[in-house]
């Protein structure tokens, strides 16, 4: 089984946490029997963007099933989890409130990315108010998503500067 990042939106769901959670629960219930497992879902504070991580055998089966459930996908990519074990993520024990997207440079390989991350991660200690949680790196090396718990967006920016890593966008996550 592989992990897949899905950037999507639910048709007809906007600005209602209860409606969103009900839709996610329904989606999860309908996909589990098809051997598609929802690992995590994060939604922006304004409900305009949703980021799913699914575990599935094949991306086309995942995409077809999401479409049948009324989920409009903008992106589906196979990803690698970095910084945490999958079992830890499945427990959903940590709190994240910011998601940073970085569109990776074309010449960056997975090995070079992982080496760089290992070398620079020690610098997170320079910004103790920010907790790095995990990263999903697209296997095609097009982008990565990094999750943080931080007091505000400027703290996330300081943490990214400390680890010498660019930001293409920051999304505040709805975790009320």
Q: What is the pLDDT of residues 113-148, one digit of tens each?
A: 999 999 999 999 999 999 999 999 999 999 999 999
What is the rounded CA–CA span in Å between residue 99 and residue 170? Answer: 6
The answer, yes or no, to whether residue 169 has pLDDT greater than 60, is yes
Q: How many CB atoms lie within 10 A of CB 154?
A: 9
Could you tell me what percentage of the chain is helix, strand and coil, using 3-state DSSP and rounding each to the nearest 5? Answer: 35, 35, 30
Position 13 pLDDT exceeds 70: no
**10 Å Cβ neighbour count for 30?**
14
CA nearest to 114, candidates 133, 137, 132: 137
- Rg (C-alpha) for the chain, rounded Å, is 16
CA distance 132 to 160: 10
Quick one: pLDDT at residue 5?
96
Confidence of residue 4 (pLDDT cuts 50, 70, 90): very high
Looking at the predicted structure, is the pLDDT value of residue 87 above 70?
yes
pLDDT at 112: 94
Average pLDDT over residues 23-40: 91
pTM of the predicted model as reported, rounded to 2 decimal places:
0.90
pLDDT of 15 higher than 70:
no
For residues 67-85, average pLDDT: 90
| pLDDT for 12 | 57
Percent of the chain at pLDDT > 90 equals 62
């Amino acid at each position: 089984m592989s992990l897949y990042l899905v950037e999507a939106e639910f048709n007809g769901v906007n600005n209602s946490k209860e409606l969103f959670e009900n839709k996610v629960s329904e989606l999860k219930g309908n996909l589990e029997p098809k051997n598609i497992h929802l690992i995590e879902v994060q939604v922006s504070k304004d409900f305009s963007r949703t980021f799913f991580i699914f575990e599935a055998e094949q991306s086309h089966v995942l995409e077809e099933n999401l479409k049948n459930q009324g989920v409009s996908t903008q992106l589906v990519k196979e990803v690698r989890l970095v910084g945490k074990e999958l079992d830890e993520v499945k427990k959903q024990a940590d709190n994240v409130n910011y998601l940073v997207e970085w569109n990776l440079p074309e010449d960056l390989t997975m090995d070079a990315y992982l080496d760089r991350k290992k070398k620079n991660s020690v610098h997170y200690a320079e910004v103790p108010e920010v907790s790095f949680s995990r990263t999903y790196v697209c296997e095609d090396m097009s982008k990565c998503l990094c999750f943080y718990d931080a007091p505000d967006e400027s703290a996330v920016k300081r943490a990214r500067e400390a680890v010498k890593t660019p930001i293409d966008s920051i999304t505040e996550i709805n975790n009320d």
